[in-house]
Amino acid sequence: METRQLGNSSVQITPLIVGTWQAGKAMWAGIEDEEVIKAIRAAVEAGMTTIDTAEVYGSGHSERTIAKAVADIRDRVVYATKVFANHLKYEQVLEACDRSLTNLETDYLDLYQIHWPSGTWQSEIVPIEETMRALNHLKEQGKIRAIGVSNFSRAQLEEAMQYGRIDSLQPPYSLFWRQVEADTMPYCIEQNISILAYSSLAQGILAGKFGPNPQFAEGDHRAKNKLFKPENYERVQAALAQLQPIAERKGCTLAQLALAWLITQPQANAIVGARNAEQALANVKAAEVELSAEELQAIDAIGRTVTDSLDSNPVMWEF
Active-site positions read 57
Residues in the chain: 319
Q: What single-letter amino acid sits at 313?
A: N
Q: Compute how many other C-beta atoms are within 10 angstroms of the C-beta atom of residue 269.
A: 24
Q: Is 298 exposed, middle or buried (0-12, 13-18, 19+ CB in 10 A)?
A: middle
Q: Which residues of 12-41 are buried (b: 16+ CB within 10 A; e: fewer)?
A: ebbbbbbbbbbbbbebbeebeeebbbbbbb
Round to whole Å and give the CA distance between 137 and 134.
5
How far is it, in rounded angstroms, from Cα 195 to Cα 262?
11
* Helix 33-45 with 61-70: angle, nearest 10 deg: 50
- What CA–CA distance (Å, rounded) separates 64 from 54? 11
